[in-house]
Structure 1
Amino acid sequence: MRKFVSFVFLLVSVLNTAQTKLPYLDIDTKISKIPVELSKSTTGIAQFINDHFKSDNEKIRAVFYWTATNISYDVANMNNPNQFQTSQEKIENTLNTKKGVCIHYAEVFNDIARKVGIQSEIIYGYTKQHGKIDQLSHAWSAAKIDNKWFVFDPTWGSGG
């Protein structure tokens, strides 16, 4: 009987642990299924997010995940982005090419966040690389969730 109880306890423990998921897995999976035609504009992306997510926390995760996983870093243009483009031109170009540098990620993130009803701002500055302030400027975003500001960097979230 002791062995049976121990076996049942072990089985329940394993099954319980196997059910543990990453906290944002459902959101990431759902936003990954956005139809291609909606992902051609920030309005379409925002519409999908508003239709599928309710809380600001879910919405901002969807905004971040979509931006970080659907834009590739434009290495060829990292040192010379077009400084004369308007915000809207940066967004449209980024959505058309699915490429950009940090300002493009931040512009797309910021625009979608605002369209889903979340206050968001772009932050301009510099990063610290190997203990020193980098010479190349950087842009990222901040969004207000539950009356608190949080920093989001979809460029670095996109990986290498």
Structure 2
Amino acid sequence: MNWSDVLQEPTLQDIPFKIEMNEWGKIVLSPASNKHGMLQAEIVGFLREHRKPGKIITECSIDTPKGVKVADVAWASIDFFRKYGFDTPYLEAPEICVEIISPSNSTQEMQEKTTLYLSKGAKEVWICDENGLLVVYSYQGLLEDSNFFPNFPRKIEF
């Protein structure tokens, strides 16, 4: 199964799970919680409030060497959109990919996703834990602040 098959499968349209694919083309489901949704909405709100020229994407699918991964939130520059438009999944990661940790996520999984997004061109990966604490990673490792959004919040209040 490939990503376009997943998108067209009627039985997968209204399930309360985040869908990704692993490197063997198998579907991986992650349950969604209301807390996760609120954190996602607050991050989108921050990005919109501190708008830079670009687009905010929720549930952004990115083709990686380990299958299609879906960033909870992404921010992409105008140049990125000129190049990739509405391709699904993106063959390159937008400049910022955000993952919100769910109870089902392991530390190893988040480290792997961070590495995958950076290897596909992301400049920053923001990781938000269940308490709203945010950290930013780049190829240099853990960053003190976002290079794109200097007013980056250390904690999402909700």
| TM-score, length-scaled by structure 2 | 0.29
Report the structure, 1 or 2, having the larger helix content.
Answer: 1
Report the structure, 1 or 2, having the larger strand content.
Answer: 2
Considering Cα pairs closer than 8 Å and 6+ residues apart, tell me whether 1 or 2 has the greater RCO.
1
